Chain A
Amino acid sequence: MKKYAFFLGCTVPVRAQHYELSARNVAKELNIELVDMPGASCCGFPMKAVDAETSLLIAARNVALASQLQLDLVTLCNSCTAMLSDAQLQLTNKEFHDKFKRLGLSYPYEVKVKHFVRMLYEDIGIENIRKSVKKPLNPLKIMPHYGCHYMRPSHLYSFDNPEIPHTLDELVRVTGAESLDYADKMMCCGGSVLGIDEDLAVTMANHKLSIAKDLGTDAIVSICPFCTVMYEDNQRKAEAKFNTQYGIPVLYYPQLLGLSLGFDGNAIGLRFNRIKPNGIMKKIAM
């Protein structure tokens, strides 16, 4: 059985419990043990623009909590993954490590940091997941949205292809759904500028929403709570600003995978999706 420290961050445990719930249930089904991290805080990313060192120390403390558990760490958020991966790398730098130690922290076990979805791809593997699929989602057309910090910057990750990514597409296809290929796959959701200029952020989100509509997408699949804020929570604002109608559901990847593993809506928290995926449920019931 694979075992990981499970880092939740700020947004997931209070604003995206359906992401957490579906990830935990998928993990259980695939024989993955997720160990909670008492005392884990914000990853530090929100402070990076203010002071990189402060953000790295906050991140390093979280990595140290996993180190105490002697476990590698998985996260559900792209930016948490980038921030914690950066801290993990910085801990090999003596000057930074000294500052870290001055906080009374220690790092006894060298932690690998991975996004939950990367863990599914690398450590469980497509073929093993395929064996667990009970209900192929054949009729669905899914638009995979990777989000920037899933594999960028590549000097932190060395994973997937930052220009032409494929891992999430493969993970979508293993559920039986079609994974749509489309232009500007690596376009940013706009989440990082939401607090600075909402109009610009909504314009950025709208770009992919309009492509999704043109392609007849059944749902966008997201792997980051902030990307979901842009595509789901701000979808109405994009509709109003660009005078159009979308109504495109946004699922977290573990929700999609959960459906193919035969879970019901409750096990993946489907009632918490703001744009109701009733159309999807009808299609797969047929």
Chain B
Amino acid sequence: MINLKNSDPKFKWEIIKKEGGEGLLKCFGCSDCAASCPVRYFDERYNPRKIIRLTILGMRDKVLSSPFLWFCAHCHACTERCPQGIKVAELINAIKNYAVEQGYCPDGYKMQLELLQKMGRLYEVEDFDLKKRQRLGLPPIDKTIPEVAKILEQTNILKVLKK
């Protein structure tokens, strides 16, 4: 049940300002995105149309606190079929980015962020891996790429880890 008394009229404008959020108000609710969605095909708890409608209606807490927001696989099946030309996967991503800003970052992403800060890559390159590469005749690779941490500092994204 949606109670519009809880609606935050500013919410949709916050999303529109985010990278990828521009198309939000073009949605007329046809549900092509939900019909094309491979995640929704298997689990109806995720429904991109519902997330977009709730966002337009200003149901801020309902959208941001939903664990199902993170079910979007970013596969772009929806983007290809939206009759309004909305980059739907980018729009859902904009809502995820906003949720992160508001303190709703899943732990898995925090872990990945820490790995990137430490190594600049997701998997640690151990001596074992380098030896295996050498045996196969593959060239060596850098164990760490510290330049990635510099980018993370510039965009101030590491503050996510403190929330």
Binding site for B on A (CB under 8 A): 8, 10-11, 13-15, 17, 20-21, 24, 36, 38-42, 46-54, 57-58, 61, 99, 102-103, 148-149, 152-155, 162-163, 186-188, 190-193, 195-197, 200, 203-204, 207, 269
Give chain B residues whose Cβ lies under 8 Å from the Cβ of A40.
142, 145
Which of B8-16, B58-66, B122-130 forms contacts with chain A?
A: B122-130
Complex Cα spacing A195 to B72, Å: 12
Residues of A within 8 A of B112 (CB): 46-47
| B100 A50 Cβ-Cβ under 8 A | yes
What total count of A-B pairs have CB within 8 Å? Answer: 164
Contact count band on B = 35 or more
> A188 and B75: CB pair below 8 A?
yes
For B133, list chain A residues within 8 Å (CB). Answer: 13, 17
A51 CA to B116 CA, complexed, in Å? 13
Q: Which residues of B contact A (CB under 8 A)?
A: 18-20, 38-39, 42-43, 70-77, 79-80, 87, 89-90, 93-94, 96-97, 100, 105-106, 108-109, 112-113, 116, 120-125, 129, 132-133, 136-139, 141-142, 145, 147-148, 150-152, 154-155, 157, 160
Contacts of A153 in B (CB 8 A): 76, 79-80, 87, 89
Cβ–Cβ contact A49 & B93, under 8 A: yes
A52 pairs with B97, CB closer than 8 A: yes
In the assembled complex, the CB of A103 is this many whole angstroms from the nearest CB of chain B, namely 6
- B105 partner residues in chain A, CB cutoff 8 A: 50
